[in-house]
Amino acid sequence: MIDETALTEEAEEALAQLWVTEEEKGVAGLPPDEIAGEDREAALRQLREAGLIEDSPGAVSLTEAGKTAGASIIRRERLAERLLTDILNLGESQVAETACKFEHLLRRGIDDEICTLLGHPRFCPHGSPIPPGECCRAGAHSAEKVISSLADLTPGQAGTVAYIHGRRRELMQRMLAMGVVPGAPIALVQTAPSYVFELGQAQLAVDRETAQDIYVRLAARPRAGRHPSAAGWLTKPIRGLRLRRRRGRQ
Ligand SMILES: [Zn+2]
Ligand SMILES: [Zn+2]
């Protein structure tokens, strides 16, 4: 197993560039002078010494170990993009810039946690496939979702707010102002005629579109069929703020 943490950022970038060229574009190798980076020679030397690339006349290409390491870098980069887009609400140009830096922080192991948190996304925000990790293979056999949209819960299900999907900045700000913040306990009460949820002591009603944008980290399922937080709120009258989207606004 190659210790990827020992690679410089430039070496990782070169490896990622080679991986995309070979594995996604189907081109066998690159002439060394087409590798991006200011200190290309040093990056290639490091990759060569780590056994991740090999030279053929006029080109460098990935070894088997290089393919594995390259996939891992691309996986982290694209997961970082998803994280920045879905959770931190960054625009496209910011994402491109930040994901590069961020990706280097997502070390092996943490990437699986992020992947699980995001529900094992298969594509980055640009539509490029995210190479699957161990967690995705394990996740495929596990019925329990860790994160789910509020709109997909069944009444009685509870958890904590994971994040607000960043499509609508105005909605996000209103939610934050009302205390719908990451970590706040939340439970779905009913789904019709509107989505009513309990947040702390308050009950709030939102439309389906808004409910779809609120992501909940689910609590472990109760053992005896009765939800621990169900006792109080099922009998309470539904009141509290009602949120409606104004027509014509995004
Ligand atoms: Zn992307
Ligand atoms: Zn996964």
pLDDT in tens, 209-244: 889 888 888 876 543 333 433 333 333 333 333 433
The model scores a pTM over 0.75: no
Ligand 2 centroid from CA 15, angstroms: 22
Centre of ligand 1 to C-alpha 77, Å, is 8
Report which bound ligand comes closest to the CA of 129: 1
pLDDT above 90 coverage of the chain, percent: 36
pLDDT at residue 249, as a whole number: 35
Which pLDDT does position 164 carry in this prediction?
Answer: 79
Instruction: Tell me how far apart the alpha carbons of residues 90 and 68 are, in angstroms, rounded to a whole number.
Output: 29
Which is more confident, 52 or 169?
A: 52
With helix as H, strand as E and coil as C, how does 88-139 read? CCCCHHHHHHHHHHHHCCCCCCHHHHHHHHCCCCCECCCCCECCCCHHHHHH
Candidates 81, 103, 100; CA nearest to 92 is: 81
Q: What is the 84 CA–ligand 2 centroid distance (Å)?
A: 17
Q: What's the CA-to-centroid distance between 112 and ligand 2, angstroms?
A: 6
| Strand 214-218 versus strand 147-149 pairing type | antiparallel
Task: Mean pLDDT check: name the lowest of 21-35, 37-51, 84-98, 143-157.
Answer: 84-98
3-state class (DSSP) for residue 46: helix
Percent of the chain whose predicted confidence (pLDDT) is above 70: 73
Give distance in angstroms: CA of 44 to centre of ligand 1.
Answer: 24
Longest dimension (CA), the chain: 77
Q: Are 211 and 195 in contact (CB under 8 A)?
A: yes
Give pLDDT, residue 101: 65
Residues with CB under 5 A from ligand 2 (ion): 115, 120, 135-136
pLDDT band at 117 (very low <50, low <70, confident <90, very high): confident
Choose the weakest-confidence range: 47-56, 90-99, 119-128, 133-142: 90-99
Decide if pLDDT at 205 tops 70. Answer: yes
Average pLDDT, the chain: 78
Task: Tell me how far apart the alpha carbons of residues 241 and 202 are, in angstroms, rounded to a whole number.
Answer: 8
CA distances from 201 to 46, 172, 239 (A): 57, 21, 11
Residue 25's pLDDT is 93
Query: What is the whole-number distance in angstroms between the Cα of residue 247 and the centre of ligand 1?
Result: 32
Tell me, in angstroms, the distance from the centre of ligand 2 to residue 136's CA: 3
Q: Tell me: pLDDT of 155 over 80.
A: yes
Say if residue 118's pLDDT is above 70: yes
CA–centroid distance, residue 193 to ligand 2 (Å): 35
pLDDT score, position 203:
92
Q: What is the pLDDT of residue 53?
A: 97
User: What pLDDT was estimated at residue 105?
Assistant: 63
